[in-house]
Amino acid sequence: MATVGVVGLGAMGSRIARRLGAAGHELVVWNRDPAKAESLVAAGALAAATPADAARRAEAVITMVADPRALVDVTEGTDGVVGGLGKGTTLIQMSTVGPDSTSRLAALLPAEALLDSPVLGSVAEVESGTLSVFLGGAPEPVEHWLPVLSTLGTVFHLGPVGAGTAAKLVANTALVGVIGILGEALALAERLGLSRDAAFEVLGKTALAGQAERRRSAVESGEYPPRFALYLARKDADLILEAAAKTGLELRLTKAADEWLAEAENAGLGDKDYSAVLARILEGTSQVESSER
């Protein structure tokens, strides 16, 4: 068993911490809002005063924060994780950020001290230990921390630091693209006079069959409880487009999906599940608003 620090206790970070604690690992936790650490501390975790304090007390520190700015805030400076890392301590960076953020962090650490390890999946997957863990890093720390990361799901070691970040952006390109095209297909069916039942029957015969079936109840009820918040999906789409542009690649379909997500966020749907973009594509926010009255 290991002593693991978890910095960032939002929906994913808190559940990662709980799963690791349930597996017998000792936990040191920190969050900008200390109240989010209280239930973990009550269950036996140690509360750190700063991210650096968490690093000093742990053998490995997981960071799980919302965006590149938040990652800088918790890793850099005198109170940041990097400042508290001792010899032999590993930083396991699990937030979804872009290549520039990963490179910036890697420049601050020896190669063997950083694992680039974002995950695919949401709260249900972390609770059940079925996340896909996209891992980039040197062979020695990968081998050492593989048992801990395997507690969270299936680990895919894809290459050196940077490979995990790249994999997560590739995966989320498919994710935001599929939800956008599903919405447009349903909107077209409606405009051409197909009933909703007929539209879903047709889509059930296409490559979108699984997604159409999965999203049908939300479309019909207008309720989109958050698993993966729409504002985070929009942030990820922005990161994808930024990374692609720096390589000279134009992602036209992803740009359109990003525009739909931004429009839905601006309409007040940012805290709902990212699939609430379907409501925006189909008929603005009317479905969502009517379900909340």
Check if the beta carbon of residue 134 is closer than 8 Å to that of residue 156. yes
- The domain of 196 spans 167-292
Closest alpha carbon to 242 in 102, 106, 107: 102
Answer yes or no: do 205 and 66 share one domain: no
- End-of-domain residue from the set 129, 159, 189: 159
Answer yes or no: do 21 and 121 share one domain: yes
Averaged pLDDT for residues 92-98: 98
Chain center to CA of 209: 24
Q: What is the CATH number of the domain that holds 273?
A: 1.10.1040.10
Answer yes or no: do 190 and 285 share one domain: yes
Q: Using 50, 70 and 90 to split pLDDT, how confident is the model at 286?
A: very low
Chain center to CA of 228: 7
Q: Using 50, 70 and 90 to split pLDDT, how confident is the model at 94?
A: very high
Q: Using 50, 70 and 90 to split pLDDT, how confident is the model at 183?
A: very high
Answer yes or no: do 127 and 236 share one domain: no
CA atoms within 13 A on the CB side of 60: 26
What tens digit of pLDDT does each residue of 223-256 get? 999 999 999 999 999 999 999 999 999 999 999 9
In the chain, the percentage of residues whose pLDDT exceeds 90 is 96
Domain count, the chain: 2
Answer yes or no: do 64 and 198 share one domain: no
For residue 168, indicate whether it is catalytic: yes
Answer yes or no: do 176 and 151 share one domain: no
Q: What is the pLDDT of residue 284?
A: 60
Answer yes or no: do 59 and 94 share one domain: yes
Q: Is 107 helix (H, G, I), strand (E, B) or coil?
A: coil
Please enumerate in sequence order all residues whose Cβ is within 8 A of that of 256, keeping only pairs 6 or more positions apart, or say none: 180
The secondary element (H helix, E strand) that includes residue 171 is helix 163-191
- End-of-domain residue from the set 159, 186, 216: 159
Answer yes or no: do 123 and 188 share one domain: no
| pTM: predicted TM-score of the whole model, two decimal places | 0.93
The β-bridge partners of 155 are: 133
Answer yes or no: do 199 and 250 share one domain: yes
- End-of-domain residue from the set 114, 133, 159: 159
Amino acid of residue 125? E
Catalytic choice (36, 87, 168, 272): 168
Answer yes or no: do 7 and 148 share one domain: yes
Q: What is the CATH number of the domain that holds 52?
A: 3.40.50.720
Distance CA 55, CA 251 (A): 39
